Structure 1
Amino acid sequence: MKKLAAVLLMSLGAVLAGCSKEDSAATQAAATPAPQAAARIVIGLDDNFPPMGFRDEKNEIVGFDIDMAREAAKRLGAEVQFKPIDWSAKEAELSGKRVDALWNGLTITEERKQNIGFTAPYMENHQIIVVAANSGIKTKADLAGKVVGAQEGSSAVDAVKKDDAVFKGFKEFKTFGDNVAALMDLSAGRLNAVVVDEVVGRYLVSKKADQYAVLEENFGTEDYGVGVRKDDTELQAKLDKALSEMKQDGTAGQIAAKWFGKNIIK
């Protein structure tokens, strides 16, 4: 009996010890949080908007805003995905949660603020007027009776229409899928002028400086910001912080110098 009791006690001890180890392991596992996947930010853009965002000869999306977004995402510890969208439907893409942010030379306007939450401005821009070098057009007044173009859904359209007196004097105002197509029509003589974001226009004009001229007058000054859903205040705050740090430590200025030859960060 004593031997049997001893065996039973030893067996019970082994079972309890085993349970203790399993309970300890389970408790430890519960106390250690499972590793979380890196956050991902999907950025909507027009991929034919050089130098802000466009495809290079390898068909890869590159540009000033691309470099800025990559750096900001890195500082947030997040992955970034660039998703080309129909820029004229950008607000629907954002509100429909198909993208998390709009980062592609997006102008901050009071109208857009109704549906989009913006970061603080990171760049100042003008709506310039590009004409053929030999056109003889020197001022906005000279656009009377002329055919003028701009990218559909761009702030250039809003800026032109805001100048009611000049706008009503156009023979025709045409919109295009992108600025490159508009400038092609200008080169072909189907347009007399193109209104375009300065950062984009000067980049494109520099490629064919002998063909184009930029007027001294423009259709106004504006600020660029990153757009997010109005209820996504967390992402907005994080992007604001990252952009502020990038300005302060000079990283944003270095990216600007790479694409524009100088620091044009606001």
Structure 2
Amino acid sequence: MKKTIIAILLTALVATLFFGCSSPSDDTDDSWGELEERGTIIVGFDDTFVPMGFKDGSGTIVGFDVDLAKEAIGRMGLEAEFQPIDWNLKETELNSKNIDLIWNGYTITDARKEKVNFTSPYLDNRQVIVVLSGSDIATKAGLEGRIVAAQNASSALAAITEEGAGATFDGGEPILFDTYNDAFMDLEAGRVDAVVADEILARYYIAERGEEKYTVLSEDFGDEEYGVGVRKTDETLLTKLNEALDAMKEDGAAATISEKWFGENIVK
């Protein structure tokens, strides 16, 4: 009897260890099957980031990245659903499965690569310094002792921090805003002396608000590339998305979208 009980217990223990080790956890699941079943991919974006993804005057979600995402996701047999998010929490939203992609002028950085996987780069960008016309700030060194603005959790902030330039600004750090719209409003009002921002966004703002009002300095805080952020577990989605983007570049669809928003093809 004792031998029988021991044998049963050992069998149960082995089975528990086997199934416990072999059963995949939620952390390692590739969600492609869920996305196919649902029929949609939820794209997380900052709805103030012109011209990449934003709400127009009628409240409609529009933008270069919006059009790019619709086309790419459509080629994957699914529909794009756009979800405005707090940009400070973008990686948390992604890895909590509240969204499936981060797609909105999302700069590829080493720090972000630790949290998400990126598609191949599809656009070049740089972090430019914008001042009001007539400002006596003409170089990056001229920012010393000045009030400099950037968006919270932005690649501009990361670039400033990496150079250690923030310590030279008034207050020892840049002033951070939730949106670049707020930052540019404060620049126009004279409450900040300069804004560091993505060139693509800055050029759009300048064109919309009047090029005569602003000066973009020749010096900047570095070049960078945009990619789409994907959960590290979603290898199938990453592969399919890269394939769709590559096909769009080859057949001219990406160029058509670029020309609509920028007047030329700037897609990599």
Q: Where does the alignment leave 5 or more consecutive residues of structure 2 unmatched?
A: 1-35
Q: Where does the alignment leave 5 or more consecutive residues of structure 1 unmatched?
A: 1-35
Matched positions, count: 230
Partner AA of 1:112 in structure 2:
R
Q: CA deviation at 1:169?
A: 1.4
Alignment partners' CA distance in 2, 1:128 and 1:42: 30
Q: Residues 234, 37 of structure 1: CA spacing in aligned structure 2 closer, same or farther, 3 A cutoff?
A: closer
**2:67 corresponds to:** 67
**Are 1:180 and 2:181 matched, yes or no?**
yes
**1:106 corresponds to:** 106
Alignment partners' CA distance in 2, 1:217 and 1:137: 11
Alignment partners' CA distance in 2, 1:123 and 1:183: 23
Alignment partners' CA distance in 1, 2:184 and 2:37: 44
Could you say what the CA RMSD is over the residues aligned between the two structures, in angstroms? 1.0
**1:51 corresponds to:** 51
**Are 1:122 and 2:125 matched, yes or no?**
no
SS in 1 for 2:81: strand
Alignment partners' CA distance in 1, 2:37 and 2:235: 21
Q: CA deviation at 1:252?
A: 0.6
**2:25 corresponds to:** none
SS in 2 for 1:210: helix
**1:189 corresponds to:** 190
Q: CA deviation at 1:196?
A: 0.4
8 A Cα contact 1:103 1:227, kept in partner: yes
Over alpha carbons, which structure has the higher Rg?
1
**Are 1:170 and 2:169 matched, yes or no?**
yes
Q: CA deviation at 1:161?
A: 1.1
Alignment partners' CA distance in 2, 1:244 and 1:252: 9
Alignment partners' CA distance in 2, 1:262 and 1:128: 20
8 A Cα contact 1:38 1:77, kept in partner: no
8 A Cα contact 1:94 1:100, kept in partner: yes
**1:227 corresponds to:** 229
**1:264 corresponds to:** 266
SS in 1 for 2:93: helix
**1:8 corresponds to:** none
Alignment partners' CA distance in 1, 2:119 and 2:223: 18
Partner AA of 2:214 in structure 1:
Y
Alignment partners' CA distance in 2, 1:77 and 1:154: 32
Q: CA deviation at 1:167?
A: 2.5
TM, length-normalised to structure 1: 0.85
TM, length-normalised to structure 2: 0.84
**Are 1:214 and 2:216 matched, yes or no?**
yes
SS in 2 for 1:190: coil
8 A Cα contact 1:147 1:171, kept in partner: yes
**2:199 corresponds to:** 198
Q: Residues 38, 89 of structure 1: CA spacing in aligned structure 2 closer, same or farther, 3 A cutoff?
A: closer
Q: CA deviation at 1:38?
A: 6.1
Q: CA deviation at 1:168?
A: 2.0
**1:7 corresponds to:** none
Taking every aligned residue pair, what percent have the same amino acid on both sides?
49
Q: CA deviation at 1:261?
A: 1.2
Over 3 Å off, 4+ runs: none
Q: CA deviation at 1:50?
A: 0.5
